[in-house]
Chain A
């Protein structure tokens, strides 16, 4: 039995499920809106929510896509009893989570959030080229026009930042000095790019796509500023064996077996690593390049 941890409204999950049905593989999809209770039946651990139930030992593989496995946590009136029961419940939940993550899996809930700064350090150790970067709280020593800033966090979107408005923080080039200090910000040398590469990594295999975003002012610095009128040209791409090997080292070091990696091919001929997204969208890349990644994932599970 395959366990899928996802959100209720998540289209990629449906694509993989279509393949699982075709392959006649049994699965359970769990959502953010269900809370599981740990029970025991015939000396076996059994998890039950309002819409799903399964024995822990019946799960053969896990695909962590989005959200999380929520497990009921009881509170007790007596503070000493509550403290003790907090620990008891913690270890029970921990046992369930660790057991699930020790099974065959694609991504894990426990390491789906990764620290960009640590990833860059690991990428360097793996031998990948990383544009020079640093943290600063002022622009005194920032070279203008050749430095970009981007958020340290994973999600650049701020929902409901104002009435009826969402905010997004794209990668931006710095063109002027600031008079005052600000909160610690991530700065990186801007690479004069030939094109961008997005690579989907799954268990040692790399599936890449080149994105020709440099000729369009709108997408030049951040291709996510999609030009819908005249979209960037995207084509299948094959990275060198050496870079693919280094990607594999990096993913091993991060304990990830699946993720999307962003690269820039510089005009200097070098391939610069930018970042890894563990739970990003990959079906666009799959459809454009005919990689059938949805089938690859269903096959593996």
Chain B
């Protein structure tokens, strides 16, 4: 989607080719990411994740 940016001052040419993307909307219930407070990792945004790669691929 093209957007019109109106500014009094000039902008770099990169603005002419700006592409837009929407804020991520939830498409299905599985897209909900639950975050937890986690003392071990000292964060309020801990996510339970599956390993990115099977162990057998690392051996």
Partner-B contacts on A (CB < 8 A): 8-11, 13-14, 17-18, 21, 28-29, 31, 137, 139, 149-152, 156, 158, 161-162, 164-170, 172, 174, 178, 181-186, 283, 287, 290
Contacts and interface: CB of A to CB of B under 8 A. Distances in A.
Given A182-B12, A183-B9, A185-B14, A161 B20 contact: yes
B32 interface: no
B40 A183 contact: no
A183 B18 contact: no
Nearest to B13: A185
A174 B9 CA distance: 22
Interface size class on chain B is 20 to 34
B12 A165 contact: no
Nearest to B53: A287
A8 B43 contact: yes
B20 A165 contact: yes
Contacts of A174: 13
B42 A29 contact: yes
A168 B21 contact: yes
30 contacts: A8-B43, A8-B45, A9-B43, A14-B41, A14-B43, A17-B40, A21-B40, A28-B42, A29-B43, A149-B14, A149-B17, A156-B14, A158-B18, A164-B23, A165-B1, A165-B23, A168-B18, A169-B15, A169-B17, A170-B17, A170-B19, A174-B13, A178-B16, A182-B10, A182-B11, A182-B13, A183-B9, A183-B10, A185-B13, A287-B52
A168 B1 CA distance: 12
Contact of B5 (A11, A151, A161): A161
A150 B22 contact: no
A167 B19 contact: yes
Contacts of B11: 182-183
A290 B55 CA distance: 11
Interface of B: 1, 3, 5, 9-23, 35, 40-47, 52-53, 57-58
A296 to B, nearest CB: 15
A137 B13 CA distance: 8
B13 A166 contact: no
Contact of B14 (A139, A172, A178): A172
A167 B14 contact: no
A185 B12 CA distance: 5
B14 A151 contact: yes
Contacts of A165: 1, 3, 20-23
A164, A169, A181: which has the most chain B beta carbons within 10 Å?
A: A169
A18 B41 CA distance: 8
B47 A11 contact: yes
B43 A164 contact: no
A178 B18 CA distance: 16
A111 to B, nearest CB: 25
A186 B42 CA distance: 41
B22 to A, nearest CB: 6
A17 B42 contact: yes
B58 to A, nearest CB: 6
Given A13-B43, A149-B14, A185-B14, A161 B3 contact: yes
